[in-house]
Structure 1
Amino acid sequence: MLTRITFLSVLFLVLSSTLFAQQQLLFFQTDWGNERSLDEFLNHAKNDGYDGIETWFPFSEDAQNELKAGLEKYDLKVVFLHGTNKGLPYAEALKVYEENLQKIIAWNPVKINSHTGSDYWTLEQNKAFIDITSKASKESGIPIVHETHRSRFSFNVPLTAEMVKVAPDLRLNLDISHWMVVHERLIGLKDPLLQQIIPRVDHIHARVGFAEGPQVNNPAAPEWESALNTHLDIWEHIIRNSGQEVYTITTEFGPPPYLPTVPFSNVPIADQWEANVFIMNAIKARFAND
């Protein structure tokens, strides 16, 4: 019996190692704050090792044609952002959300990342948006995830955990930096509510937040080591336990005013692009020996 147990244990470890070795990480660069031309931005992303970009869907035909040509030129993939227009009356917002979602699906992106609902609406009202995406995802085969984000249904941990219970098809994009500042603390991997949410996470926005803000000034600075490692531990756990052979990650450090600036001059105190590349390489380092 001991021999059989030992054999099965070794077999499990071998299979697990094989799974991790086969797991591919796809990194996407945000175009948030980009001031380059589209061609320069795509070229820069490609040269720095990104597999694609994440951007809001362009609804003008000219912008779509330019983006399609650029992605083909540089062999880059795309994750499209989509969102609820909170400035519209609820019923109209729901209608417009569904109409625009279908336009994005026609592009066949890698994923669609949704800024969903509003923190001013009820759980039932917000769930209606999730129901629309769940149906659309099943019909199209395109993964649709809902970003954990301030001002949306998912602005804090308890409400997101509650939505997980009532929406069985809910899939998430975890941007946990928002929750760090909402709850004014570094939420660790072992947090019981976070553990309920983690199995629903299919995409990651990799930005480091802290108790007083959604973005540290420079993730490479030693004073942020604890915050950085807290985020890296959570991201690594999610990826390794996702069961997905291909996992998508968008590095999403933002521009000013998300990125702090020097008073009066408004000069950024760090480089947004360098911060995103640093985070991509930090995540890669966690999987370097697989």
Structure 2
Amino acid sequence: MLKITKLTLILALGLLPFSLLAQKQLMFFQTDWGNQLPMDDFLTKVKADGYDGIEVWMPNSEEARANLKAGLKKHDLKVVFLNGTNRALPYEEALEAYEEGLRYILTWDPVKINNHTGNDFWTVEQNLEFLKIADQISKESGVPIIHETHRGRFSYTLPAAVSMLEVFPSLRYTLDISHWMVVHERLIGKTDSNLQKIMPAVDHIHARVGYAEGPQVNDPAAPEWKNAVEVHLEIWEEIIRNSKDETFTITTEFGPAPYMPTVPFSNVPIADQWAANVYIMNAIKARFSND
């Protein structure tokens, strides 16, 4: 006998799309920014702390690339690669190197490619050429190629990011809102009208907590940063819950010194970078623990 539940009836009547019933899956990546451990030790630690993968720049040497590839396979970890515009190169050379970097990364079968794209000193038209290249390669490959909101890049301010999205509607973002907190010298809340325009275009999050005077609080677990942490969590949660992606990717990206404040005259970090990243991962997980 078929048991007709309330949920079965709702589905049968077509009142609720099945896709809305699927639990949102979160995939967490750890940054290798500042890592001093041998690759295998680093990846062992990443796996032990519950991450699904890492986010890294492509290593420069063949040996380092081989170690990375072997380690990812050994520990069954995914990878998001970073790629960027080399602002030290002349424009045309930077454009060529950017495309070459993207095409090489694709041979590694990454989950996504996150780009530091363009230059805040270049024109909209110049920066747009990088976006067009990335969009074409993404469509050819089927791999999401996204662009990080970052100081020094085309997206260095919230209004600049909105303007570029209006010019290039297929643009997809990695949101690192900590940059905008310091650029605009205030905590930008999720109801901000400009941010509301950006949020539907976000496919990846860099989870670092900024504040009005800097891109990284010293320790997200400290009570004095409770409000700043909550503002960030609210933004991230709204983006994730409204994303069309069944699996949403997040990189925890608290950085090392000098991003991490240090004790004067010592250069000793005043908090633990790894602990900060694990803390913020668990704080995000907690927002979805009852789903």
TM-score of the aligned structures, taking structure 1 as reference length: 0.94
Matched residue, 1:116: 117
Separation of aligned partners in 1, 2:246 and 2:108: 23
Q: Deviations over 1:20-73 (max 9, x none)?
A: x2x210000000000111111000000000000000012432222111100011
**Do the aligned partners of residues 193 and 60 (structure 1) sit closer, same or farther apart at CA in structure 2, a change above 3 Å counting?**
same
Separation of aligned partners in 2, 1:12 and 1:45: 42
Matched residue, 1:138: 139
Matched residue, 1:236: 237
Matched residue, 2:218: 217
Separation of aligned partners in 2, 1:191 and 1:133: 28
> Once the 2 structures are TM-superposed, how far is the Cα of residue 17 of structure 1 from its aligned partner?
5.8
Matched residue, 2:266: 265
Counterpart amino acid of 1:287? F
Q: Equivalent residue of 2:99, what SS?
A: helix
Q: Deviations over 1:204-256 (max 9, x none)?
A: 00000000000000000111011000000000000000011110000000000
Q: How do 1:59-138 and structure 2 match up within 5 A?
A: 59-138=60-139
Counterpart amino acid of 1:115? H
Matched residue, 1:18: 21
Q: Equivalent residue of 2:54, what SS?
A: strand
Matched residue, 2:254: 253
Separation of aligned partners in 1, 2:21 and 2:225: 34
Residue 283 (1) aligns with residue 280 (2): no
Matched residue, 1:3: none
**Do the aligned partners of residues 227 and 12 (structure 1) sit closer, same or farther apart at CA in structure 2, a change above 3 Å counting?**
farther
Q: Equivalent residue of 2:27, what SS?
A: strand
Q: How do 1:120-199 and structure 2 match up within 5 A?
A: 120-199=121-200
Counterpart amino acid of 1:101? L
Separation of aligned partners in 1, 2:112 and 2:192: 28
Q: Equivalent residue of 1:106, what SS?
A: helix
Separation of aligned partners in 2, 1:284 and 1:176: 19
**Do the aligned partners of residues 263 and 195 (structure 1) sit closer, same or farther apart at CA in structure 2, a change above 3 Å counting?**
same
Counterpart amino acid of 1:253? F
Counterpart amino acid of 2:257? P
Separation of aligned partners in 2, 1:96 and 1:28: 26
Separation of aligned partners in 1, 2:189 and 2:116: 24
Counterpart amino acid of 2:199? I
Separation of aligned partners in 1, 2:279 and 2:20: 26
Q: How do 1:22-61 and structure 2 match up within 5 A?
A: 23-61=24-62
Separation of aligned partners in 1, 2:19 and 2:231: 24
Q: Equivalent residue of 1:146, what SS?
A: strand
> Once the 2 structures are TM-superposed, how far is the Cα of residue 15 of structure 1 from its aligned partner?
4.7
Q: Equivalent residue of 2:218, what SS?
A: coil
Counterpart amino acid of 1:42? L
Counterpart amino acid of 1:18? L
Separation of aligned partners in 2, 1:261 and 1:59: 29
**Structure 2 runs not aligned, ≥5 long:** 1-9
Counterpart amino acid of 2:147? H
Q: Equivalent residue of 2:81, what SS?
A: strand
**Structure 1 runs not aligned, ≥5 long:** 1-6
TM-score of the aligned structures, taking structure 2 as reference length: 0.94
Q: Equivalent residue of 2:262, what SS?
A: coil
Q: Equivalent residue of 1:278, what SS?
A: helix
